[in-house]
Structure 1
Amino acid sequence: MTPTAPDLPTQVAARYRGRFAQGFVRSKLRTDPMLGTLLAGPPLGAVLDLGCGRGQLALAVLLAGVADSVTGLDADARKIAAGQDAAGDLAASFRTADIAEAALPPADTVLLIDVLYQMPPGRQEALLGRLAQHGARRVVIRAFDPDRGWRSTVGRTMETARRLVGADLGRRGVIAPRPLDDLAAPLRAAGYAVSITPPSAGTLLPNVLLLAQRP
């Protein structure tokens, strides 16, 4: 992870109320490589985070200075309330919305992290079609690759277990990863250059990074 001063995960976590939320946010930002990926890349400008949850990733890139503003949309009203409360006077707005149908505000960078495979295929297709016409310079998607062999099997098993034990009450029953070419197709058709980064060596999960950029 790109180093920051002061410790960025701790700085973000301190904005949340409650020991559980603070611990979750701190742990998530410290262990999730997505933050380091965004900090190491080009400036993000205005960020639209779809399926943002508590908004910790959006607030982290804002506090790190790589984003100018952030807007987060998520269906979980409790998480949205926590994110808005944590945002304070920052240039951040969090709203409860069904991302498959809600109007998508203008943005330079759209984040769609670990969200698509939790939506039925038809809703995934509809959202990707709208993103292709949205006008953002960059669309960053972390997707579940169903074609990663044993990693995909492990990923499905872990996702099923999470739902059974209620580890994340915001997760639905759907586990519907689609082939990466299907995810990339509408973006490529709209003129985006799409690159796909495979899972890091040593990881058990089939998560891949799909980056779509305007040439």
Structure 2
Amino acid sequence: MSDASLIAATAARYAGAGRFAQGFVSGKLRRDPATAAILALGADGFGHLLDLGCGRGQLALALLLAGHATDVTGLDRAGSKIADAARAAEGLAARFEAADLATAPLPDCDTAMLIDVLYQMPGGLQRDLLTRVARVARRRVLIRAFDPDRGWRSAVGFAMEGAGRLLRGEIRRAAIAPLPLPALAAPLQAAGFAVRITPCWQGTPLPNVLLVAERQPDAS
């Protein structure tokens, strides 16, 4: 199945969620550089995929429909988005649950995925979550992160995130607090993962990067 056909098949599952949600899912999958990057990585097989901060779950479901994941567990604190994800996943090996990532128990998985979620949390909670993720992920951790040290790209990212929060009425949320990339990598490296980081901002002015952590064979 081509990426275009896969995106169309995934978006069609959100028909019951309303026109806005279906349009958002389709646009996100088509335009977000993370989609192509993670679909390409998925050719190696992700096994049981744990999607943390999954939102409506569209990327995880696309990976499942592509055969890149055997089953999916998605967690997100937004109950309305989880409801959309659960409806879209009907008949598939996927479950989505509302949960606070700061406190929720994390199930064992082969691959853990965190897309644009860490920088929305305070620094201490980011480190704690990464430490817990490193305990449950048997093979791989994928993180699309906001790099605060990319100069003008970082400045644009902060400005766009602030404007988006203002438009959504979220001005009372905690400050945007992306950790430097070495601080993100450290808990994973300490747990025996090898980490590589590549840009993931194609076609955008944003400071997004993709961190891929692979557990080494001799790591416990």
The two structures have a TM-score, normalised by structure 1, of 0.93
Match of 1:137 in 2: 139
Contact 1:163 1:173 in 2 (8 A): no
Return the offset for 1:32.
Answer: 1.1
Q: State the shift of 1:200 in Å.
A: 4.6
Q: Does 1:208 align with 2:174?
A: no
- Structure 1 CA distance, aligned partners of 2:146 and 2:163? 16
Query: Are 2:79 and 1:77 aligned?
Result: yes
Aligned to 1:193: 194
2: distance between equivalents of 1:86 and 1:100? 26
Assess if the C-alpha contact under 8 Å between 2:56 and 2:85 holds in 1: yes
Aligned residues of 1:198 and 1:208 also touching (Cα < 8 A):
yes
In structure 2, what residue type is equivalent to 1:73? L
- The alignment-based identity, stated in percent, is 61
1: CA distance, partners of 2:202 / 2:83:
36
Match of 1:55 in 2: 57
Q: Any unmatched runs of 5+ in structure 1? A: none
Distance of 1:202 and 1:60 partners within structure 2: 22
SS in 1 for 2:109: coil
d(CA) in 2 for partners of 1:132 and 1:11? 32
Which amino acid is the alignment partner of residue 88 of structure 2? A
Whole-angstrom CA distance in 2 between matches of 1:61 and 1:202: 22
The structure whose residues are more often helix, as a share, is: 2
1:156–1:40 Cα change, 3 Å: same
Cα RMSD, aligned residues only:
1.8
- CA shift at 1:36, angstroms? 1.4
Indicate the residue corresponding to 1:3 in structure 2: 2
Q: Deviations over 1:63-94 (max 9, x none)?
A: 11111000000000000011001101100000
- For each residue in 1:161-206, what CA deviation from the matched residue of structure 2 results, as whole angstroms up to 9, or x when unmatched? 0000118x7x944310110000000110111000011345653100
Distance 1:143 1:8, change over 3 A: same
Instruction: Describe how 1:1-215 pairs up with structure 2 within 5 A.
Output: 3-4=2-3, 7-16=5-14, 17=16, 18-41=18-41, 42-166=44-168, 172-200=173-201, 203-215=204-216
CA–CA distance in 1 between the matches of 2:203 and 2:61? 29
Paired residue type of 1:15: R
Q: Point out the more displaced range, 6-15 or 45-54.
A: 6-15
Runs of at least 5 residues in structure 2 that lack an aligned partner in the other structure: none
Does the CA-based 8 Å contact 2:33-2:202 persist in structure 1? no
Say which SS state the counterpart of residue 35 (structure 1) adopts.
helix
User: What is the distance in 1 between the residues matched to 2:137 and 2:203?
Assistant: 36
Looking at structure 1, the residues matched to 115 and 40 of structure 2 have their Cα atoms a distance apart, in angstroms, of 17
Preserved CA contact (<8 Å) 2:201 2:207: no
